[in-house]
Amino acid sequence: MKIIDPFYKKADPRGKLAGILRTQIREINWVETKQGIIRGGHYHNQTVEYLFFVIGKARVWCTSKEGKILGDRVMEPGEIIMLEPGEVHFVEALENCIWFNALNLEIDDRSPDIHRPQTTDL
């Protein structure tokens, strides 16, 4: 779990511009989640996942497959977080939220790189 800072920022009388991500992306998804809902609880073996928050606050936390906490943070609009392969990740909408989910690999419906940990306490 790593926070991604914009690589470029500029502001002028017209508004603001931020360069948010420089990487290979194969799939982008729009996610709307109602307050109080928790998504995730899975990990990827190969896929790197980026979450770019647009509206609302959300708590994002990651654990190892064994349940050890690796990171925990409240995300706000304009922030990006990178979730690395092997990190079991969760997103709890603290408010109604919208975010983009960007993946370095396409999800293959026949064999998705989405796995649930074997532990029962997650």
Q: What pLDDT digit, counting tens, does each position of 15-70 carry?
A: 999 999 999 999 999 999 999 999 999 999 999 999 999 999 999 999 999 999 99
Q: Indicate whether this model's pTM tops 0.85.
A: yes
Asked if the model's pLDDT at residue 122 lies above 70, the reply is: no
Q: What is the mean pLDDT of the chain?
A: 94
23 lies in a domain?
Answer: yes
* Count of structural domains, the chain: 1
119 lies in a domain?
Answer: no
Q: What pLDDT digit, counting tens, does each position of 75-101 carry?
A: 999 999 999 999 999 999 999 999 999
56 lies in a domain?
Answer: yes
Asked if the model's pLDDT at residue 119 lies above 80, the reply is: no
Contact 25, 104 (CB under 8 A): yes
Greatest extent of the chain over all pairs of C-alpha atoms, in Å: 53
Give the pLDDT score at 85: 97
Give the pLDDT score at 118: 82
121 lies in a domain?
Answer: no
22 lies in a domain?
Answer: yes
Phi, psi of 93 (to 5 degrees): -75, 110
Classified as helix, coil or strand, 26 is coil
Domain CATH for 61: 2.60.120.10
Enter the DSSP assignment of 98.
E
Boundaries of domain holding 24:
2-103
29 lies in a domain?
Answer: yes
112 lies in a domain?
Answer: no
